[in-house]
Structure 1
Amino acid sequence: MIHGLWIIKKTGECLFEKSFGLSKSAPDITSLLTAIQTFADSISGDSIRSITLENMLFRYKLSRDIFFVLSTDMEDEVSETLDSLEIKFWTEFKQPVIERVDEKKFDNFTKEAERIITEYERKKEIEDLDDKLRALERELV
């Protein structure tokens, strides 16, 4: 399951944040996500790809000095979803985002992000159901 999406400038400014099942009272973690990336960059010169918690992963993708971060369950494979979100973002905002964009300009992107996330979740549900049906079929044979 995908729990949240953040789009953050490399400087730490959060351009977009959307919760998908996370508590509305969840703390703002934008600064933490940025600080960990800055730390990783300063020690190794490399971008961070993920942060692992006990039951959740934060997966990063860097594009044109913008970080796309998805929080997911451990078993979720969301590389294609991150790619799709990146493409939709840059389709909507053709130039690198220099300054804070008016929230209304994100309306279309918000709808597209919700569609991409919903599509991923439905696909995952179908795959899980298929796995269960195959396991049941093996038991019956």
Structure 2
Amino acid sequence: MRRAVCPGSFDPITNGHLDVIARAARLYDTVHVAVMINQAKKGLFTIEERIGLIESVTSDLGNVKVESFHGLLVDFCKQREIPAIVKGLRAVSDFDYELQMAQMNMGLTGVETLFVPTNPAYSFLSSSLVKEVAQWGGDVAHLVPPQVLDSLNAKLQQQ
């Protein structure tokens, strides 16, 4: 069975994330979406909310498993016998950072990293940008799935 992981904070998941996950799901038997727990960062959504949103927007794919993790991604991979990490690249600046991470991960455990160029429609997109635009009342409906938009608007109204 071919397995891969798509890691990230997904706070919230965007159409760009979803595009990379869906493309990985066509290539692998099982795609683990690893939602990173970063104690030093306070996210807008809780880990449980992020997992729920990702499960909701990937439910039609059928071969996606969503889990949280903390620590090293290569340890997550090793524990689950996942040989490959799939990462989306938006720009050359992403590549510089991600290449170093890929080389470190390969050196630590032999886990391969595959880079997927982002769909040009999402090349500018990030969760941080979505949150900022939404916070100021901007329309982000074309940047996130509908259920994420509803949750994002509800969460921002609570603040």
Same fold per superposition (TM over 0.5): no
CA radius of gyration, larger in: 1
TM-score w.r.t. length of structure 1:
0.28
The structure, 1 or 2, with the larger RCO (C-alpha pairs under 8 Å, 6+ apart) is 2
TM-score w.r.t. length of structure 2:
0.26
